[in-house]
Structure formats: structure tokens, C-alpha cells
Structure 1
Amino acid sequence: MIRAAVLEDAAVIARIHVASWRETYRTIMPDPYLDQLSAENRESGWRKSLAEGPVFVALDQTNEIVGFANGGPSRENDATEGELYALYLLKSHQGQGTGKRLFDHVLEDLRRKDFQSCIVSVLADNPSRFFYERFGGRLVSGQPIERGGKQLIACTYRIVLVPSFNA
């Protein structure tokens, strides 16, 4: 099940954020960088994000949060483009369609706000980047970034938002 997150979810979202980074990036980023990540340090950022706009959470069969996603106006481009800021899902719940459902909720929210496209940045070494290609994402650029003293490439994908007929 997917639902809109509430302020009380901030601590759990922060824990999942750190856990999923460690699961996903362990062989991509330096261990010391990942080991210093702290859910406590991320919680305040998630409280701010929850106050600014919708964050969607995925729940498992026991109603525990296992992933989250959010988006909004592009931080880099013009006013017609949205951005997927984050989509993180615990590895134990990947491959079951949950990530797609989270992604769909963010895209639908962006459509309702009249964005014509959505960008998402993902590390080139992250095998999950092909997720976005499966759902219409087209690679538009690659930018060097540094994390923990290691040079990486962040790939930017663009997804055209077809108007929803559910409104």
C-alpha cells in the first residue's frame, strides 16, 4: 500500500534512507562515507520535506514503512519540469512492484501540478538506474560528483509526463 507520509513518519523515513543508501551504495561509495551516515542527522531534513510537500511511503503487509519517494519542481530547470527527489526502497522489498507504485504516485502528483516532464538523477554505477529506462526515462546528461572522496558520475534521466485522464 502507498500513502502520503505524515510528520510522525520522519524518523522511520530517515532510517530507511540511511539503510537503503548502505544497501545500494556499499560497493559504489567508500565505506567510511556510508558508515558515518546518521538517521538522526537526516530526520530534520525529512521533517522539512514533509512540511513542504507530499512524501509517499510504501507499507508492507504489517503496515511497516519499507520505502518512500518524493518530488516537486526541478531544482535545475524551468518551471515546466518536475523532479523526482528521492525514491528509496529497502532491498528486501525490491522487485515486487513497490518502487513502481511509489514512482507512479510522484509522477501523478507532478502531472496534477502541470509539469510536462520529470528529471531524476541517479549514479551511473547504481544498477537501479535502469528502472527509469524501463519506464520511459531517457538519459540526457552525466555530471561528475564526489562522495566520500570518490569521483562518481550522476546520470540525469528525463521522463515525459503524459497527461493523466484520471482527473
Structure 2
Amino acid sequence: MKIREAHINDAPAISKVTVDTWKTAYRGIISDEYLNNLSYEEREKGWREFPFHNSFIYVAENETQNIIGFAAAGPERTSNPVYSGELYAIYIYKDQQNKGIGSSLIRSVMKRFEQLGIYSVLVWVLSESPYRRFYERNGGYKIDSKLLEMDGFKSEVTAYGWLDIRAKF
């Protein structure tokens, strides 16, 4: 497995990971109708519009150089007075989970934040997602929750934070 910084040409593969992992990770949490209507093309359009000028994505590739997961991050988006950085997304194909890929991706993101002089980071996670424990295992702690309304669905989300990533990563 190799971790590298993504570029715009990775958008189709990142879109596929996004859609496929949403369909496995969020089944039973987000409506089947919403999940069944997810489109590679729509997600690709969104990833092509990703603000690479001030944010970044790391991808995990398998031995055949296929992207099997990614993490996207950048400046915190809600003007939080405590947290400067935000992990926007981290997704890994279900059959590739529990192999250390997520931990490698999050370490890469946190190292990049350190290089940028950003030491406090948060991530928003669907509150019902069993994957939220990943952040707890990686030293994140619950700091907030709110109702998220996005693209036609509503769900509670929980924020996990790291006040000083240098202490953990």
C-alpha cells in the first residue's frame, strides 16, 4: 500500500470510493433511496471542484496502483474559534478496512497540518455511524453535535477533535 497526495486526475477514482463506501457504510443510517441515487458522475463533479489551492487529499493505493481509500482535509469551515483544521472525509473500501490504511491516511493528513502550522483539528461524523470509534481510537474526543441537512437528508453529526495533534501524531 502506498499513500500519496492526490491530484485532479484522481477525481474519478475518489468519486468511486466515495459512492461505494457511502453505500456500505451508511446503509441503515441514510435512506436507501438517497444511497441508491448516488452517482459517480455527480460525485466526480464535486471532487473536480475541490479547492486544491488551500485544501488537500491523500489517497491510498494498492499494489496495482488502484485507489482504495482517501482522506480530504483543509481549513476548518465554520470559523470555530478553537479548531483551525478539519478532516473533511476519510473513506476506505470495506474489504480494505482494518489493515491500517485509515491510520496511515490520518497520520498523513495530520503531518500535513503540522507542516502548515495547524495543530488543532476536528472532524464531523454521522452520530449513528459505528466508524466514529475510529476517531476515538486515534485520540479524538467528542466536542459537539448538531443536525446536518444536506442534499435532501437530515442526520445528527458529532464532532471529534484534537486540540494538539503533535501530542498524538
User: With structure 2 as the length reference, what TM-score do the two structures score?
Assistant: 0.89
What is the alpha-carbon root mean square deviation over aligned residues? 1.9
- Structure-2 separation of matches of 1:124 and 1:31: 18
Which consecutive unaligned segments of at least 5 residues does structure 1 have?
none
- Contact 2:57-2:70 at 8 Å conserved across structures: yes
Q: SS in structure 1 opposite 2:52?
A: helix
Question: Which residue identity lines up with residue 106 of structure 2 in the other structure?
Answer: F
Moved over 2 A (4+): 50-54, 145-152, 160-164
Give the percent of matched residue pairs that are identical in Structure 1 and Structure 2.
Answer: 37
Partner of 2:59: 57
Q: Secondary structure at the match of 1:55?
A: strand
Consecutive unaligned residues of structure 2, counting only runs of 5 or more, are none
Give runs of aligned pairs for residues 134-145 of structure 1, distance below 5 A. Answer: 134-145=137-148
SS of structure 2 residue aligned to 1:49: coil
Alignment of 1:48-127 (within 5 A): 48-49=49-50, 51-52=52-53, 53-76=55-78, 77-78=80-81, 81-127=84-130
Q: 1:162 to 1:28 in 2, by over 3 A?
A: closer
Partners of 2:9 and 2:106 lie apart in 1 by: 22
Q: Distance in 1 between matches of 2:45 and 2:82?
A: 27
Shift of 1:91: 0.4
- Structure 1 residue identity aligned to 2:75: P
Q: Does 1:154 align with 2:163?
A: no
Is contact 2:83–2:163 with CA below 8 Å preserved after alignment?
A: no
Give per-residue Cα distances to partners, 1:17-75, cap 9 Å, x unaligned. Answer: 01110010011110000111111011122122263332110011221100011111100
Aligned residues: 164
3-state DSSP class of the match of 2:50?
helix
Question: Structure 1 length as normaliser, TM-score?
Answer: 0.90
How far off its partner does 1:112 sit? Answer: 1.1
| Contact kept? 2:58, 2:71, Cα under 8 Å | yes
Give the counterpart letter for 2:77 in structure 1.
Answer: R
Match of 1:133 among 131, 136, 143: 136
